[in-house]
């Protein structure tokens, strides 16, 4: 059952943009995971500088970044998932 695929290989500019926005939205959590794993490298023991308020600022700063990114992406994403993708069973 190898019929011709329903989804076109090349898309209009707008649909193309939507797809890339979707890709971006999918990547946001991974960005968050990576940035929030950085504290694992912080040294607290020994002579090294103790984790102070900058540590708090870092964790909360990443948070703000993720919120802004998610807001920017989700407001541009069309709600109708079926626009051009279908078939997108899963992209």
Residues near another protein (CB under 8 A) are 1, 3-4, 22, 25-26, 28-30, 32-33, 36-37, 39-40, 42-45, 50-53, 55-57, 59-60, 63-64, 66-71, 74-75, 77, 79, 81-82, 86-90
Output the smallest distance, CB 32 to another protein, in A: 5
> How many CB atoms neighbour CB 74 within 10 A?
12
Residue given tokens 């999918």 in the structure block:
26
Cβ neighbours of residue 6 closer than 8 Å, sequence gap 6 or more: 86, 87
Output the smallest distance, CB 13 to another protein, in A: 21
Name the nearest CA neighbour of 84 among 28, 41, 21.
21
For residue 6, the 8-state DSSP code is S
Give Cα 50 to chain centroid, integer Å. 31
Output the smallest distance, CB 8 to another protein, in A: 15
- Give the residue with the Cβ less far from another protein, 11 or 77: 77
- Give the residue with the Cβ less far from another protein, 14 or 27: 27
């Amino acid at each position: 059952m190898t019929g011709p695929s329903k989804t076109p290989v090349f898309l209009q500019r707008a649909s193309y943009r939507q797809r890339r926005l979707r890709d971006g939205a999918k990547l946001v959590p991974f960005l968050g995971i990576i940035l929030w794993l950085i504290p694992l490298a912080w040294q607290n023991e020994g002579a090294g500088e103790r984790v102070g308020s900058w540590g708090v600022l870092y964790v909360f700063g990443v948070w703000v970044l993720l919120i802004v990114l998610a807001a920017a992406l989700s407001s541009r994403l069309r709600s109708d998932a079926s626009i051009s993708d279908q078939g997108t069973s899963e992209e």
